Amino acid sequence: MLGYATMGTNDLARSAKFYDAIAAITGAGRVFETDRVVTWGTPEKGAMIGVIKPHDEQPATGGNGTMFGLPVESEEQVQQIHAHALANGGSDEGPPGPRGEAFYAAYFRDPDGNKLVAYVPPKAP
């Protein structure tokens, strides 16, 4: 249902580099960019995620209670994304591991404080 989501950044070049690596892990790539925004996605999946400098030119902040989920294919990809985040200015919000019986995930914040989760979607019964 979600077409795209953007997260605010105070340093577009730093954020683009941070998310380029995550996109590479998931098989996505840059699909749109200007001097204010960079977005990543895959044409066959449709949804995009992006980082953007706020239009009102005020500092970007991570939303309290806001989180974006990045669905991936494997637990290894969850682990790779989490490790990348921690090694590149992000912070831990919950290490890789099972959440309940059918959900594997890791939670992190990017260098601007935006909260994300990399997860393996539950399998259909």
Quote the pTM value.
0.85
Task: In whole angstroms, give the CA distance from residue 42 to residue 63.
Answer: 26
Architecture per CATH, 4-55+65-120: Roll (3.10)
Per-residue pLDDT at 82 exceeds 80: yes
pLDDT digits (tens, 9 = 90+) for 22-61: 999 999 999 989 999 999 998 777 788 999 999 898 999 8
pLDDT digits (tens, 9 = 90+) for 84-97: 999 999 999 999 99
Per-residue pLDDT at 102 exceeds 90: no
Q: Which position has the token pair 């204010």?
A: 36
Domain residue spans of the chain: 4-55+65-120
Please give the structure tokens belonging to residue 103: 């959900």
Q: Which position has the token pair 């404080």?
A: 113
